[in-house]
Amino acid sequence: MKGGAVMEPREAYPITYSILGLLAIWGPLSGYDIKRLFDHMLSSMWGAAQSQIYKELRRMREIGWVEMEREEQESRPDRKLYSITAEGLSALRKWQTQPPEVFQLRDEMLLKMLFGSFARSADLAQSLRASIAEHETRLLVYRQNTQAIAGAFPRGDKRYNPYSDENAEDPYFGLVTHFAVEFEKTYLRWLYEALELVESREKPAPSDMGES
C-alpha cells in the first residue's frame, strides 16, 4: 500500500453554489423556478441543464444544504419547494472566502482565430460576423435589463423577477452586470478588429485569375 488515502469526492461545484445563491435570495424555489432563473440571469456566465438541476437539488438535500417542502397541486405534479438551510448558507459563505480557481476563457472563437492561417479568409469572416451578431445582441439585452425592466416579468410575479425593486438596491447585481457589459464591449472591439484583419487578407488580388 502506497498512500492509502482514498480521495473522497468534492461536495460542491459552481452549480451547487449558484443554486444556493439563488435560493438564498429568492427564497423557496422549485427546480423549475431555478431553471428559469438560470436561463434569465446566469445564462451568460453559467449554464445548467434542467436534469442537472434536479439531480443537484437531490444531492444537496442529502448533505443537508437545502430542505424541501411539497406544495400540492391538482392536475400538475406537486411543486417541490426548496429552501437553503443554515448549513447551506454557511457553505456559501465559506466558498466566498476561498481564493478563486484558475480561470480559463474556453472560447472557441479564440481557438479558431489562433489557427486562422489555415482557414480561408472568407470562412473566418463568416464566423466572425456570426459572433459579432450574437454579442451585439447580448450587449443590447444587458443594457435593456439595466435600464427599464419593469415589464420583463409582466405578471408582476416577484418570485421570478430578478429585477424587482427589492433587489434593485443590491449593489452586487449591478456590479456583475457592469462587468458583463464591459466584457462584451471589449470582446466586440476585438471581433471588429479581427474582422478587419481577415478582410484585409481576403482579397489581396482583386481580379487576378491566374495563380502560381
Partner DNA sequence: CGGGACATGTAACGCGTTACATGATTAA
Partner DNA sequence: TTAATCATGTAACGCGTTACATGTCCCG
Binding site for a second copy (CB under 8 A): 14, 17-18, 20-21, 24-25, 43-47, 89, 92-93, 95-120, 123-124, 126-127, 130-131, 134, 170-173, 175-176, 178-180, 182-183, 186-187, 189-190, 193-194, 197
Residue 162 and residue 34: Cα distance in Å, rounded? 12
- Residue 155: CB minimum distance to DNA, A: 8
Using CB under 7 A as the criterion, which residues of the chain lie in contact with DNA when the complex forms? 2-3, 5, 7, 9-10, 13-15, 30-33, 36, 47-52, 54-57, 59, 73-80
- 120: cell is 480561408
Q: Which of a second copy, DNA, none does residue 184 bind to, with CB < 5 to 8 Å depending on kind?
A: none
CB of 8 or CB of 211, closer to DNA: 8
Q: Which of DNA, a second copy, none does residue 113 bind to, with CB < 5 to 8 Å depending on kind?
A: a second copy
- 139: cell is 450587449
Q: Return the H-helix or E-strand segment holding 20.
A: helix 14-26
Q: Which of a second copy, DNA, none does residue 88 bind to, with CB < 5 to 8 Å depending on kind?
A: none
- 14: cell is 459552481
The count of other CB atoms within 10 Å of the CB of residue 120 is 10
DSSP state of 100: P
Cα dist from 171 to 103, 166, 174, whole Å = 24, 12, 5
Residue 62 and residue 167: Cα distance in Å, rounded? 30
Q: Which of DNA, a second copy, none does residue 10 bind to, with CB < 5 to 8 Å depending on kind?
A: DNA
- Residue 159: CB minimum distance to a second copy, A: 18
